[in-house]
Amino acid sequence: MARAPNIRIRHLREALRLYAQHAWPPGRGQPRVPGWRGLSAAQVLAGFADETPAGLDACRRLALRLGNWAYPHMKLAVEQTSPDGEFFFHADAHDSASVPACADSPLWQQLRTLNREIKQAIEEAWQEAGLPTMADAAAGAARPARRRTRAPRSRILVVDDEPLNLKLAGAFLRGSGHGVQEALSGEAALAAVRESAPDLVVSDLEMPGVNGCQLALRLKERAATRAIPILICTYARVQASHVQPADALLLRPFSMQQLARAVRDLLEGADAA
């Protein structure tokens, strides 16, 4: 039976209530939410899909697709940021299986903006209610980095359109002794690279405008940036061949150990080239 030791049934009920409140505001239809009366947290979580990626040091992720008034694929998820660590609530609007061929169309981008606003409202409500969220995970990951005084081992550009993902990955990398520069879009990343080339780029895959694969292609097209290794991170269950010309793929949720290992391998490969 699925378990998340720090998540109680009262947490799940309150998370569901607040999710429904913001995903279906008044006049926007009736939510189709499950009935959890009389169930334990373990029984509820057993009904979630196990989306844990395979591999060493994998962090667990359990997700329930509930949708919102405009988009049927949004999920309520609980996931770890370290193996055997605590679980955190996450409102996930990303679902690569639902991305249409016209993903760059204005209507699709409007939907993505709406999903981001709903996600933010849900997660802020969870925080206010004292539920464990990814903001808590990011704050916890940042603490070890504040105690470091050594010069950075390398400079890494982290790219993600979701601020919490950006903050979490940045905290992980700073905790491993790297200098980190952050960009909230592919366009901002290209501008940052033109100003000063990093040693490595760690990018989200699904972003509006210039996505992770397009960012990799732009960098690999130019002789001045072709040698910069690029790591793509995503919740989508894709293969490394799907994110070419990026150099490597890391599936979320990942642990600090997994990210540190992937970064080390790419930096060592660049040095050996």
Query: Could you report the per-residue pLDDT of 56-65, keeping only the tens digit for each?
Result: 788 999 999 9
The reported pLDDT for the residue numbered 97 is: 47
The reported pLDDT for the residue numbered 273 is: 63
Domain with CATH 3.40.50.2300 in the chain: 139-272
For the chain, list residues with pLDDT below 70.
1-2, 95-104, 144-152, 272-273
DSSP letters, the chain, are ----TT--HHHHHHHHHHHHHHHS-TTS--------TT--HHHHHTTSEE-PPPSTTPPPEEEEE---SS-TT-EEEEEESSTT--EEEEEE---GGG--TTTTSHHHHHHHHHHHHHHHHHHHHHHHTT--BHHHHHHHHHHHHHT--SPPS-EEEEE-SSHHHHHHHHHHHHHTT-EEEEESSHHHHHHHHHHS--SEEEEES--SSS-HHHHHHHHHHSTTTTTS-EEEEESS---GGGGTTSSEEEESS--HHHHHHHHHHHHHHHHH-
CATH top-level class for 139-272?
A: alpha beta
The reported pLDDT for the residue numbered 101 is: 47
The reported pLDDT for the residue numbered 168 is: 93
